Amino acid sequence: MQTAFLKNQLPDFNALSAHQIEPTIDQLLKDSRLALSQIVTSSQAPSWQNLVEPLEMIDQQFERIWGPIGHLDSVRNADDWHAAYDAAMQKVTEYYTELGQNAELFARFDGLANSDAYAQLSLAQKKVIDNALRDFRLSGIDLPSEQQAEYKKISQRLSQLSSQFGNQVLKATQAWSKHISDVTLLQGLPESAQGLLAQYAQQKALAGWRVTLDFPSYLAVMTHADNRALREEVYRAFATRASDQSEHNEFDNTALIEEIRQLRQQKAALLGFASYADYSIATKMVETTDQVIDFLRDLSHKSKPQAQNELATLQAFAKSNLAIDDLQPWDITYASEKFKQQTLSLSQEQLKPYFPVEHTLGGLFKIVEKLFGVQVEQKTGVSVWHEAVRYYELHNTDGQVIAGFYLDLYARENKRGGAWMDVVQSRWRHPQGELHLPVAYLVCNFTPPIGDKPACLSHDEVTTLFHEFGHGLHHMLTEMEHLNISGISGVPWDAVELPSQFMENFCWEREGLDFISAHLDTGETLPDDLLSALQQSRHFQSAMMLARQLEFSLFDFLLHAQYDAQNPEPLSDLVARVRAEVAVVMPPSYHRFAHSFSHIFAGGYAAGYFSYKWAEVLSADAFSLFEETGILNPETGHKFKNIILAAGGSIDPMVLFKAFRGREPQIEALLRHCGILSLTKAA
């Protein structure tokens, strides 16, 4: 089936054009429905072999065929491709809604769960069946037919709105740019940043420099531009993307947000949940919405006084050193960088030459080899979607290939912003015995090489690289062989960030930095004075950064937990209410962060953005065992691999954590990493 789109078990990204998407998916859906009908009409009693295995074969085909189509919509977006993808996605959503409401299929799963055969299954197999029964109920299997039809209609519309939201954020980001011909406007920007903006101009056949809202460009201006008016202009363009306040308001997401809010509440209510937040946590570690809200408010209570002090200190510095009497949001990053240079003798530009991409990648791979016993090797001759993309294989100690991943590092046009890991192929054993190896996409938006100069990473970009690689390791080092629980599949969303945030810690320790740093010109690893400054910078304005994350998290959760269908709280009122409670920096009235908040409106984090902080408690506490036994202790690394990573979604993550750490998680490690432990003791 669609073998032209596959090449040596990996996608052939150049073999499918936009006009082929719908017929390809139509054939996939036709074949899948035929196979499904054969499963549910079987006269045999339900068993693992005649129920789960053939369903996994259907799902595996979706993963291999539908997955790359969605991936290309994110990394090589074009209008014709997105239109075809959107149309096909509606059909795929309809299929999965039908699947979740298939009474005959549910009856067979229920029959297997209540049979003598169930007791003979492995714990992993039982988890697959238990998850399936849970997901049936969350898909409306118990609803009357009329309400099932309503659920199906809502699900399809939400899928469409989510795709449209993300696409409009991308279009709005690309719609704005500023052509600069007078270099004095760029005073303060380092040579590398000016070179990037010149390269952006050349790509449009322009002389001079071109500022865009791609993150490398945006961050360079906000961090280094001495021209305050330029900073404000770029800040406003970025803060109003995809909103009514943007000069390109044809991409306004306001109506989409309101419809998404309404439909999510309707979907939850259909299933008997009080709110969409209650529906969301049904598949998470947390047990109640109050537990989440209390967790976020407790963190705010512990950190806000320090955040207020940090802001007051920055305001005083800006007034006395930068002649900025009224520190505004577009001054924060700029003033913070100047303040960091003065107090810590440190800047991102000082650090960048120590992290050439090739050396840092090699160092990351050495750390992974030391900790987890796997080697990473680049492989050529593999089909990719852009010339800058690379493909790597993971080998075990016997030299056997156990996994693979694509690496797409740099920002470019028609590529969605941010960084993420996604699944190309899950670890899965075919019923006939063949083992399909896990393969991942690792996507970032780093500053690309400029001219013939090699790319170097800021330390923030280094931590992002480690973060996404942590997600990749979770996917690639699983030992599960069933799709539903392989890698990150089946892992509760508030635990899925544990391995990713765990890996970030190695970017702050001498043992890790000695592997990943080597000055571009001298080859010198990060010297002691810069290391000391870097480690101190981990606490630099950490409470302010925590307050910002809590603002996002609490906004997301209250948006979904306290929605009143009869009298919806205006979005602006909710934003103001959350900011009054947890924020210390108050953006201007035109700020519209929700309109580009793709994590919750176009991704999987709706009523789940708190997962970053929830999982950070686990990841910081897990890393504290390495602090006790040795940062690169192979024995502790193998323990982490064999307990946390290998299990995939087969076991409750709290059970796994306690097996690894030997106790319940404690918040002290997170607070210590954030530099706010002293305040918690005082409180």
Catalytic residues: 468
443-477: b (≥16 Cβ within 10 Å) or e = bbbbbbbbeeeebbbbbebbbbbbbbbbbbbbbbb
Is beta strand 439-446 parallel, antiparallel or unpaired with respect to 420-425?
Answer: antiparallel
* Structural Rg of the chain based on CA atoms: 25
What is the amino acid identity at position 116? Answer: D
Q: How far from 455 is each of 195, 415, 605, CA to CA, in Å?
A: 12, 19, 32
CA distance 683 to 672: 15
**Phi, then psi, of 678 in degrees rounded to 5:** -60, -35
CB 622 within 8 A of CB 640: yes
| Helix 228-239 vs helix 215-224: crossing angle, to nearest 10 | 140
Q: Hey, how many other C-beta atoms are within 10 angstroms of the C-beta on 492?
A: 19
Under DSSP, is residue 568 helix (H, G, I), strand (E, B) or coil? coil
Place of tokens 């101190």: 536
CB 655 within 8 A of CB 644: no
CB 116 within 8 A of CB 175: no
CB-count burial class (<10 Å; 0-12, 13-18, 19+) for 576: middle
CB 535 within 8 A of CB 370: no
Q: Which residues contact 181 (CB under 8 A, 6 or more apart)?
A: 207, 208, 209
Q: E strands of 46-144, at which residues?
A: none
Query: Token digits for 304?
Result: 């806000």
Query: Token digits for 100?
Result: 């979740």
CA distance 248 to 251: 6
CA distance 667 to 650: 25
Which residues make beta-bridge pairs with 453?
450
DSSP structural state of residue 399: S
Under DSSP, is residue 375 helix (H, G, I), strand (E, B) or coil? strand
Is beta strand 6-7 parallel, antiparallel or unpaired with respect to 10-11?
Answer: antiparallel
Place of tokens 């999982």: 615
Alpha helices, DSSP H, located in 244-328: 254-270, 276-281, 289-321
Place of tokens 């924060």: 332
CB 477 within 8 A of CB 641: yes
CA distance 29 to 48: 23
CA distance 681 to 231: 39
CB 157 within 8 A of CB 186: no
- DSSP class per residue in 358-398: HHHHHHHHHHHHHHHS-EEEE--S---SSTT-EEEEEE-TT
Place of tokens 């960091």: 340
